[in-house]
Amino acid sequence: MGQITLSSVTKSFGDVTVIPPLDLRIEDGEFVVFVGPSGCGKSTLLRLIAGLEDTSSGKIAIDGTEATDLPPAKRGLAMVFQSYALYPHMSVRKNIAFPLKMAGLSPEIQAQKVEAAAKVLNLTSYLDRRPGQLSGGQRQRVAIGRAIVREPAAFLFDEPLSNLDASLRVSMRQEISELHQTLKTTMIYVTHDQVEAMTMADKIVVLQAGRIEQVGSPMELYRHPANLFVAGFIGSPK
C-alpha cells in the first residue's frame, strides 16, 4: 500500500498555471524527494496529493483507487507538518493521540498506538511533557508521531527540517531515513536542499516552474543529468 499515480495533473491559481500537465508514478514503499528552487511548485504538488488543494484538471489515484475528489481525511495519507504545528498546551501523549481521538478510537486503542509510536521514535520517556519542554528534534519527532499513529499509506513531508539548526538537521535526516527503513511506508519529502535530496531519496523528482525536469535515483541524476538545470542543481559535472 502506498502507490500513488498522477495523470495529467494541473494546477492554476486564477490565470496563473503553477503546475502544467504532470505525470508521475510513485511506487509502494519508495522514499521520493521533490526538489527544486523556491516557488517551483513543490508544496503545491504535495498539497494536491494530500488533497489540501483541488486539482484544476487530471487524476490522482492512490493504491489504484480514484482519489482526485476525495477529501484529505479519506486519502489514507499523513502530512507531517513542521514541529511548530504542535498544540503547546497539550502533552506529547495528547498531541500524538489527537488524530486518533478525532477518529473516535477508544482510549485503550489510542494509548496502545501512542506507546508503539513513541517507542519507534524514542519518545517514551517524554510522553508527559509539553512541546515547550522538548528540544527541536524531539518536537519534530512528536510531529512525526502524530502521523505514524494513523498508519498512513504514505507520509508527506514539506520541508520538515527547515526550522532546525544545521547539526540537528543532519541527525533528523538520518532519523527519518531510519524510520523509512523500519516502517517501509511510502514517503514523499519536499525540500529545496540538494544534499537532503541526494542523501535521503530512493527517487528524486527535480522540478522547475512546475515541470518535472528529471526523475531518477540520486546516482542516475548525478551521472546522467538530463540537462544543465539538473546538472547545476544537483551539482554534477556536466
Interface positions with ligand ADP (CB under 6 A): 13, 18, 36, 38-44
Question: Please, what is the minimum distance in Å from the beta carbon of residue 210 to ligand ADP?
Answer: 7
201 near 33, Cβ under 8 Å? Answer: yes
Q: In this complex, which beta carbon is closest to Mg ion, that of residue 31 or of residue 189?
A: 189
Given the complex with Mg ion, which of 43 and 91 has the nearer CB atom? Answer: 43
Q: How far is the CB of 177 from ligand ADP (least distance, A)?
A: 22
- Stretch of 39-47, 109-117, 146-154, 180-188 lying at the interface with Mg ion (CB under 5 A): 39-47
- Stretch of 40-48, 80-88, 103-111, 200-208 contacting Mg ion, by CB under 5 A: 40-48
**Of Mg ion, ligand ADP, none, which one does residue 7 interact with (CB within 5 to 8 Å by kind)?**
none
Give the nearest distance from C-beta 132 to ligand ADP in angstroms: 28
| CB closer to Mg ion, 7 vs 43 | 43
Residue closer to ligand ADP, measured from CB, 99 or 158: 158
Q: Residue 43, interface with Mg ion (CB under 5 A)? A: yes
- By beta-carbon proximity to Mg ion, the closer residue of 162 and 182 is 162
Angstrom CA distances, 177 to 15, 108, 140, 141, 189, stand at 39, 30, 14, 13, 11
Q: How far apart are CA 10 and CA 33, in angstroms?
A: 19
Provide the 3-class DSSP secondary structure of residue 132.
helix
Q: CA–CA separation, 157 vs 34, rounded Å?
A: 10
Give yes or no for residue 17 binding Mg ion (CB under 5 A). Answer: no
Minimal distance, residue 46 CB to ligand ADP, in Å: 8
- Burial of residue 68 (CB within 10 Å: 0-12, 13-18, 19+) is middle
Q: 3-state DSSP helix/strand/coil percent for the chain, to nearest 5?
A: 40, 25, 35
Q: Is 192 helix (H, G, I), strand (E, B) or coil?
A: coil
Q: Are 197 and 204 in contact (CB under 8 A)?
A: yes
Residue 162 grid cell? 527547515
CB of 133 to ligand ADP, least distance (A): 31
Q: Whole-angstrom Cα distance, residue 28 to residue 34? A: 16
Burial class (CB in 10 A: 0-12, 13-18, 19+), 183: middle
Our finding on whether 208 is near Mg ion (CB under 5 A) is: no
Under the criterion CB under 5 A, does residue 68 sit at the interface with Mg ion?
no
Q: How far is the CB of 209 from ligand ADP (least distance, A)?
A: 9
Q: Which of ligand ADP, Mg ion, none is residue 204 near (CB under 5 to 8 Å by kind)? A: none
Residues that bind Mg ion (CB under 5 A): 43
